[in-house]
Amino acid sequence: MGLFSLFGGNSQGTVLDREKSDENKKRMREIFDAKVENGSQYHVVYAYSEDIRGANFAVLRTVSYQYRSFILGYRDSDLSLVLLEISPDLQQSGDALCYRAQDMKKTNFNKMVNSYYLQYGSAYKKEFFHVFSPKTIDDILNLDWYDEEMFPYIDQGEEHSGWTSFWNQFCQ
């Protein structure tokens, strides 16, 4: 037992199931292409959001977490971004939400490691999205709250660098 394993560090990492990951990426592409007009023109990556809700009672305080999975589609040619909510088992999807950099008045954005936040809109109505895009499967599997039924198994080391450079252009 090494010194770092005492503090929860994983020195060996996770053995990647490449076949399972590639199958899930292929399924994400199929879903995206079916839901988005000209979907094949977009690059896609997986992301998730974390919604935290709390309630205070006289003696008790509760906190609940809700995780949602997304396919992020992005196109460099016109700086288009599409958020498509999906179920963790990749069997269902919601409606696609499309954003273009030139159509949004950005009021606030933060660059954090694997976390992407954008707030936009008028002074009266602000909208925002905040998603996390894991680079490797270890970024999800090593979390204390990881549950196999809440996140699809996707390793996107190669795709992540393209997403990061797109995000930097989108937020300028």
Residue 49: beta bridge partners?
Answer: 68
As a whole number of angstroms, the distance between CA 158 and CA 21 comes to: 12
pLDDT digits (tens, 9 = 90+) for 144-172: 666 677 888 888 888 888 988 898 888 77
pLDDT digits (tens, 9 = 90+) for 54-106: 656 666 766 666 788 999 999 999 999 999 999 989 999 999 988 887 776 65
Mean pLDDT of the chain: 78
Which pTM value belongs to this model?
Answer: 0.77
Q: Which of 148, 126, 136, 151 is nearest to 50 (CA)?
A: 151
Q: Is 60 exposed, middle or buried (0-12, 13-18, 19+ CB in 10 A)?
A: exposed
Q: Which two tokens stand for residue 140?
A: 């999800």
Contact 84, 68 (CB under 8 A): no
Cα three-residue angle 16-17-23, rounded to 5 degrees: 130
